[in-house]
Amino acid sequence: MSNTFHTNLWALTRGYRHHFAGAVVALALASLLLLSVPLIAKYALDVVMEDGLASGIPGLAGWAERLAPNHPLLGYLSLSGVLVVLVTLAAGGFHYVRGRLTAHASEGLIRRLRNSVHRHVEHLPAPWHDGMDTGDVVQRCSSDVETLRVFFSGDIVEIGRAVTLVTVLLPLMFWLDWALALVAVTLMPIIFGCAWVFFRRVQHVFKATDEAEAELTACLQENLTGIRVVRAFSRQPYEVERFGGYNARFRERYQRLISLMAVFWSGSDLLCSAQIGLVLIVGGHFVAEGRLTVGDLFAFLTWVAMVIFPIRQLGRILTDAGKATVARVRLAELLDAPLEVPIPALAGERAPVARTPSMTPSWNGAIEARGLTFAYPGGAPVLSDLSFRVEPGQTLGLVGPPGAGKSTLVRLLLGFYEPPPGTLFIDDVPVEHIDRAALRAQLAVVLQEPFLYSRSLEENLRIGRDDAEAVSLTAAVDDAALTETLASFPEGLDTRIGERGVNLSGGQRQRLALARALLRRPAVLILDDSLSAVDAHTEAHVLARLAKRRGRQTTVIIAHRLSAVRDADLILVLGEGRILQQGRHGGLAAAEGAYRELCRQQGMLDHADRADATDAGPAARTPLAD
């Protein structure tokens, strides 16, 4: 989709061009039929004001004499009226066909575009999302796509209508009177030139307006998402003023756009009216001289209006084309962003080549880092020379102050960012050689602030595994200490939760996310400080259940409360991106260092910890002392 998307707007119509062509033909036929109405009226006027039936349409005059021999003039006018009605009905039928074809084509291609854009956004890497405002992305996926829909739903076909009218009417006017036809086209080049200049200028204004609207949307989205923080800190006046600033900027740019459009529309209206007035003046002289009949002048004026206003409408079409061009460029920028993982193409498109997964579906869950150093784009290293190994089925504990690099290590394990080649391994396979979908299929993560959807509890759980049986669902809920909580809800698993789980407590949200992860049955379970909002009794229940999974599931636990990692097979104490200490709880608590200080702060230095030599396992290591 993205390759053709960059060429031009017409490239987007691939697969629907025959529908647009049919719509143009239908509209052209409707326009041709309607062109005959002024001609019918011309002959009717000539019949009344000139030479009677001799000035009328020959065939129609004969029918009038046969149908109304006593009042042939009245019969002719009646037949003319019936003919106008029939022509209008036929034109209406073609307009209906045009509408159906245009709707099918425009809605079809926009549906395809929406799906393509959404699928692309879903597969963009984490760094791209980190660098984009959510409101701007929403603006591109909604407002910009809608701008293209408006253009394709009418403007493409209207261009065909304008071309048809100009192609047919100009010869007709020259056939009727070449001198008056020259007068009729005098101002048309000026009108068209103004429309083109307007199109060139309006694109830049539209781009600025669209960007201002994106900023406004981003501000609104941010305020609605963080409304509780705004109220908790009494930030309403500041946020209202901030929103007002973005709104004022949008208003200023939109007013500039409206002013530019007002200049064009008023100027084009003046030129169109002047053109019709010029034809009326010259045509009136021709009628007075007997060069034209009143019917000729009426038909001429009607045709001039029919051809000049579509040319004027080119300004509106070019306006929409300017909007659509800006929207296309903004969407192309989004579709240009490289994907994290190649995804299957849409139906009918050639699928891109995907990286072959380097790992079988059955994982053991061994994790190893070998001199892992990592820095975010444009930043200083946040991880420096990390080396450790966790065997399958073991538990790894990560502790340390905020900013020590714990969550960064998790992001690397999840494949959100690429580590340096040959520094991070799962089952002895470098993570850069593992297909991202295959990697995440074997991992499950529970974040400190889990994201929950505004759906039922069961729907949120089944995100982990939508084909899970009821018994597996019950087991996951029980392991996450969520059974009593569910029993308190009248509708149980069918209970709908608010947006982001707003009607649940922090601990309930964390346990629901934990149950979702456990339901997945991952080879590696990652808990990113995900028990911080639960009480000690609930934490002990969850950790006891997780302990039963040892040997079958590798677990990575990030925690500030050391009780969560006390039974871990390996604990890494991180500080400023480095491993300050590593070992088991007993050995680390017995040795002087950062971990012992944390134990002292949390009241965990009891006699058993000081004397426990067997629990220490391998001696706690401090890299600086090695």
Strand 395-399 and strand 570-575: pairing? parallel
> If 0-12 CB within 10 Å is exposed, 13-18 middle and 19+ buried, where does residue 572 land?
buried
Spatial contact of 77 and 47, defined as CB atoms under 8 Å apart: yes
Extended strands (E) in 115-204: none
Spatial contact of 21 and 64, defined as CB atoms under 8 Å apart: no
Long-range contacts of 35-39 (CB under 8 A, 24+ apart): 35/165, 35/168, 35/169, 35/172, 35/303, 35/306, 36/87, 37/84, 37/87, 37/88, 37/302, 38/298, 38/299, 38/302, 38/303, 38/306, 39/299
Looking at residue 1, its pLDDT comes to 47
Looking at residue 60, its pLDDT comes to 67
Q: Is 227 left (phi over 0), alpha (psi -120 to 50) or beta?
A: alpha
Selection from 575, 608, 440 nearest residue 517 by Cα: 440
Q: Model-level pTM?
A: 0.68
206's tokens? 């539209």
Spatial contact of 229 and 351, defined as CB atoms under 8 Å apart: no
Looking at residue 370, its pLDDT comes to 94
Q: What angle do CA 328, 130, 449 make, to 5 degrees?
A: 130
Looking at residue 607, its pLDDT comes to 41
Spatial contact of 145 and 323, defined as CB atoms under 8 Å apart: no
Tell me how far apart the alpha carbons of residues 152 and 323 are, in angstroms, rounded to a whole number. 12
Looking at residue 343, its pLDDT comes to 44
Looking at residue 53, its pLDDT comes to 64
Looking at residue 4, its pLDDT comes to 46
Domains belonging to the chain, first-starting first, are: 2-336 (1.20.1560.10)
Looking at residue 613, its pLDDT comes to 40
Mean pLDDT for each 10-residue chunk of the chain (626 residues)?
Answer: 54 83 88 83 74 64 65 73 89 91 88 88 82 80 86 80 80 84 85 79 81 83 76 80 90 88 82 86 87 83 80 74 82 84 43 36 83 88 92 91 88 88 91 83 83 81 79 83 81 77 76 86 86 79 81 87 89 92 90 89 64 45 40
> If 0-12 CB within 10 Å is exposed, 13-18 middle and 19+ buried, where does residue 487 land?
exposed
Tell me how far apart the alpha carbons of residues 428 and 355 are, in angstroms, rounded to a whole number. 18
Looking at residue 435, its pLDDT comes to 82
Looking at residue 617, its pLDDT comes to 47
480's tokens? 């996450």
Looking at residue 55, its pLDDT comes to 62
